Structure 1
Amino acid sequence: MNLYLHIPFCASRCSYCDFYTQTGSKQRADFLSALLRELEERREELPRGEEVKHIYFGGGTPSQLSIAELTTITQRIHSLYPIAKSGEVTIECNPDDITPSYAEGLALLPFNRVSMGVQSFHPDDLTFLNRRHSVEQVHEAVSALRSVGIANLSLDLIYGLPRQTLERWEASIESFLALSVPHLSAYHLIYEEGTALTKLLEQGKVQSVSEEDSLAFFQLLINRLKAAGYEHYEISNFALPGCHARHNTGYWQGDPYLGFGPSAHSYDGGRRRSFNVPSLTAYIKGMLSGKRDYSLEILTDEELQHEYIMTRLRTQWGISLEAYQARFGEDARAKLLCLAEPFLSSGTLLRDGDLLRLTPEGIFVSDGIIASLFC
């Protein structure tokens, strides 16, 4: 079982972001009380005898919380839940929040991994995306964290920005590699409904990049990271050996997790998924009145199979046919292999003993392959 805590506060909203966030901090004290209450009330959802493997503080911007507030939360978690000693404890941070004193505070807490949303190493890109940090602050943050012993770092980059060129994207990749950070998450820009960036697109003020350019950006990313010794272990994620994101890998492997905070999701590892209300006000009201505000979803066999295929095929480990048959039956396994045959023949899927996985060529058309395996 893993834990996810959603910290919704941000100093400002990025132009591309559609996650549930709040730019004001008036309700922070009430949020903290509600979060502590939820951690306590849902303790019984951890099966007897099990430990929490990995913990992830996401958002929002968890580094908007003070070290004192983070101390209160982590102490409550450790007082309520048995935690595996070898587990990963990640916090998402904005680079400009990582001052030397803040880094020192994090080092005194259980955090052993920090993920930072950099997005670009070009100042004009950061302005366009409404990011509040500078390129210099990225370097300062990495240095501050390493100086206190936190070296397990991950950076996020975005490609496919309007007017982005291959040369500018390559420069960002090289800037990342120059930092010798062990993990990179790189995402193609998505124009999410309701975001400021999507409004600019609808108004004709920006244009999305061509599919040809998108593929060129992705190919350059893969080639350069592979040459530098990084494993392309998930479609959007690269890591030096032994440095893959263990909490996030749990999502792709179907591990159960408990999600706390507004809009957080939970999954029991079987059929049951729940979603906390995506409203800070409603979340606080529900938790402090003793009635958690959430929705419940019971997954069908078809939904479970589709999710199994989608999440596992995104990774370098692929689908274990034996495990798939044990979960869904012999007929389901036979159907999966039948649907996979055209892609096996074309060289975009590979059957390696018990495993079914994407080939390097298949990664570029993975969405189409996965959708075809749903039929």
Structure 2
Amino acid sequence: MTQRPLLQMAAPRRGKPPRHFADLTREERQEAVRELGQPAFRAKQMAHHYYSHLTATAEDMTDLPAGARDGLVEALFPPLLSKVTSLEADGGATKKTLWSLHDNVKVESVLMKYPGRATLCVTSQAGCGMACPFCATGQMGLTRNLSAAEIIEQVRMAALAARDGDLGGDPVRLSNVVFMGMGEPLANYKAVMATVRALTTPEPEGFGLSARHVTVSTVGLVPAIDKLAKEGIPVTLALSLHAPDDELRNELVPINTRWSVDEALDAARRYFDATGRRVSIEYALIRDMNDHAHRADLLGEKLNARGEGWVHVNPIPLNPTPGSIWTASDPAVEREFVNRLRSHGIPTTIRDTRGSDIDGACGQLAIKEA
């Protein structure tokens, strides 16, 4: 059943991204500024420009000394992302952008406008090492982890676009960030957590988002889930389950051979116990593969066995990739799957899918570019 990768991208020249202001802690920023011959308080001024005003250019930082401004920005705000292409859907309310990183690696992010707010689907790895056969990114293999600043720059650029009205109409505030783009976030734990801290730290030292508006997804890296539970930042955990039984999940999510369905669900329950944040179960509905009514029943039983009120299920109509045997479930089958879960008392909501007409599945633009 397991497919070989559709495409193995040629490995680009890989190198460590240049040091960026967003990679540094507050103390490290102060030290970096002092090393450049300026007093430590300049670091807070620069943070205010970056996180509150969403700018990283010398001409906008007019409260910095004119003689030092260019040097500070050149040293601490090297360009990390350059836009390759951008595609729009939903009347401009959904924008998918392909970025080129400093070493010519390509990654994607998706910005989505909703009434009064915007959500960014952010990428944490170039490619992915989890090898899920129905996922475009999973078939690329892993090129490298992104640095914290490379992830944070996706957020800043998205917040700037939302604020400037680039999503087809009135300006909106970027209020939600979901780590559901390319890669397995918890396999790049250090950079993802640095990003989460930047997202949730109050302005001007961070973006000032609520932790409840940040979602970190995982295919089930159990030790990392338990580590995340101890961070003291109650983000929403999204477990990409896709099958309630080990036999099928071993095929759909190969990491399941290391941490089983029950082990992943137990870790998710521990996360709820530690944080009080209801866990989301992500379930891509794949025609004639995992969309059977008996699997909905099994999933409902396993979730209920771990208590009530701790979980919500998001069935996701699969966004198929070109040339793949995997496709979305029949709508009637989808409805029956949802009804079965609800009959077990499981809160269930079909996840809103955006951008199917612009290569919506993560990794498709990067594959085309390669």
What TM-score comes out, normalization by structure 1 length? 0.49
What TM-score comes out, normalization by structure 2 length? 0.50
Greater share of residues in helix:
1
